[in-house]
Amino acid sequence: SLFRLKDLEVPELGDCDVHVKMLAAPINPADINMIQGTYPLLSPLPAVGGNEGVGEVLEVGRRVVALKPGDWVIPADAGLGTWRTRGVFPEEMLLKVPSDIPVLCAATLSVNPCTAFRMLADFESLVPGDSVIQNAANSGVGQAVIQIARASGIKTINVVRNRPDLPKLVERLMALGADHVITEEMLRKPEMKDIFKSIPRPRLALNCVGGKSTTEMLRHLQPKGTMVTYGGMAKQPVMVPVSAFIFRDVRLRGFWMTQWRKDHAQDQESVAAMMDALCQLIRRGQLTAPACTEVPLQDYRAALEDSMKPFVSSKQILLL
């Protein structure tokens, strides 16, 4: 097995270090990909898994200014290794978050909601009444896109795979604020025209699947619209008809949150503005944590297995 639960000494606290007691950390697809070695970030081994989570500051080194004991922190970047009970980290590897938001919201804040927020903001200037189409709409990012769009008056068309409990999933996404929830098969049906009687064709498509799903989704994009690819769950390339490029001038872009953070490392204002906006939405009840299953750390094996099952609609969260 690749995984072992191991007791380690907590290292000495340096002048610029922060001693953190981890509270909760999710298991995301990218965490699994990193462990499998199929992700562009590889930690030197032996390594602690987990790129996301929330912790409470226990003590700080004497040159630490922005954090104090009792503060809540999340990773400033990927690769922190959040699947642990305690850790000592340099101050710049942590971002302070308000401790008055629910712990599961804080634990799942730094990857999926940030990804959703950036993709909605950075590629098309969307205004209330515009629409967005996305596949894998029940993913962590998908659920965040639905809620952030809803709070901004943007309509969402949400594509999911057909499954045994489809009505239950549709109901859950509608409750989050989805305007339409459809299956991959429906993308090819003439009934799609009915949707566009009440809302405009999307200017933005968000793709984390690839393959056929993407080609079908692209068909419904407005001329000059943008499709942003941020994942490839079908492990198939993005296929685009030549006519979409020539006659509709669609744009194809990519997005990786880790790269955005690198590009904005010197631009703390952008990071702070995004975190503030997301925390405001959380406080107003407009952005909730994704559907979660809470698992004590000692049951990590079962949690990892569950996170890799097909049609998972609940994110495994390790309670530390």
More confident residue, 308 or 185: 185
Whole-number percent of the chain with pLDDT over 70: 99
Backbone φ and ψ for 65, nearest 5 degrees, come out as -110, -35
- Could you tell me if residue 136 is inside a domain? yes
Strand partners, 180: 157
Task: Count the residues in the chain.
Answer: 320
Torsional sign, CA 183, 186, 187, 193: negative
Measured between alpha carbons, how far is residue 217 from residues 33, 95, 122, 141, 185 in Å? 25, 36, 20, 17, 11
> How many folded domains does the chain comprise?
2
> What pLDDT was estimated at residue 96?
95
Mean per-residue pLDDT, 168-189: 95
**Which pTM value belongs to this model?**
0.91
- Could you tell me if residue 282 is inside a domain? no
Largest CA-CA distance found in the chain, in angstroms, rounded? 66
86-90 vs 17-26, strand pairing mode = antiparallel
Q: Could you tell me if 39 and 87 lie in one domain? A: yes
Q: Could you tell me if 126 and 104 lie in one domain? A: no
Whole domain around residue 75: which residue ranges? Answer: 17-108+289-319
- Could you tell me if residue 183 is inside a domain? yes
Q: Is 39 known to be catalytic?
A: yes
pLDDT in tens, 127-143: 999 999 999 999 999 99
Q: Which ranges of the chain does DSSP label H, i.e. alpha helix?
A: 29-36, 103-107, 112-122, 140-151, 166-176, 192-198, 212-218, 242-248, 257-263, 268-283, 300-307
Q: Could you tell me if 243 and 309 lie in one domain? A: no
Mean per-residue pLDDT, 271-275: 95
> What pLDDT was estimated at residue 43?
75
* Domain limit, last residue, from 257, 273, 297: 257
Whole-number percent of the chain with pLDDT over 90: 73
Q: Could you tell me if 38 and 155 lie in one domain? A: no
For residue 132, what is the domain's CATH number? 3.40.50.720
Q: Could you tell me if 88 and 206 lie in one domain? A: no
pLDDT in tens, 50-105: 999 999 999 999 999 999 999 999 999 888 899 999 999 999 999 999 999 999 99
> What pLDDT was estimated at residue 1?
57
- Could you tell me if residue 4 is inside a domain? no
Q: Could you tell me if 99 and 148 lie in one domain? A: no
Give me the catalytic one of 13, 14, 32, 39: 39
Q: Could you tell me if 80 and 217 lie in one domain? A: no
